[in-house]
Amino acid sequence: MQWQTELPLIAILRGVKPDEVLAHVGAVIDAGFDAVEIPLNSPQWEKSIPLILDAYGDKALIGAGTVLKTEQVDTLAQMGSKLIVTPNIQPELIRHAVSLGMIVCPGCATASEAFNALDAGAQALKIFPSSAFGPGYIKALKAVLPEDVPVLAVGGVTPENLAQWLDAGCAGAGLGSDLYRAGQPVERTAQQAAAFVQAYREAVK
């Protein structure tokens, strides 16, 4: 298994509104991102996700985060979403999303959760909240996981510390409040997106 996009960084735009979502997603894609997540606790996500799928679905892996119910997976599949990110491990939800041809990156913290997710068919793992565990924990966890499973750090990842997570064995990261905070100007999103892309490229060259 490999991460499904060229740049293994997911832009998490929690709290973005439909009337601004195209501008912010455009900014991160212009910076080099090719995976975008709109968490389902964002305002009117049912409007935002179809908008960005229509505009950028051919340029990026687009989907939803904070997915908690199989009914939400069905709704997202009907929209054309390809990416499902969860904060926890629900094997039934994972199996259902995978059966619909979606990429599933569920949130886990322990080896038991990680292997339960993989048994259910998850193609990647999100260690959340990464900042509470630290790179050393992820390095230890990676030692028992299948080598080819992409692990993403989520929670507390910044351009300044991204290299630490990659050094610990992460394929990449999901980027939330250090990339986008609800209400911030598009210029700030573009600036942070560029900083993350540069940090990743410097870390892996």
Residues 103 and 81: their CA atoms lie apart, in Å, by 9
Annotation marks residue 37 as catalytic: yes
Could you say which of 6, 20, 37, 59 is catalytic?
Answer: 37
DSSP letters for 89-151: --HHHHHHHHHTT-EEEEEE-SHHHHHHHHHTT-SSEEETTHHHH-HHHHHHHHTTS-TTS-E
Could you say which of 17, 47, 82, 126 is catalytic?
Answer: 126
126: β partners: 107, 152
Annotation marks residue 17 as catalytic: no
Residues 156 and 101: their CA atoms lie apart, in Å, by 30
Q: How many CB atoms lie within 10 A of CB 105?
A: 29
Give the active site residues. 37, 126
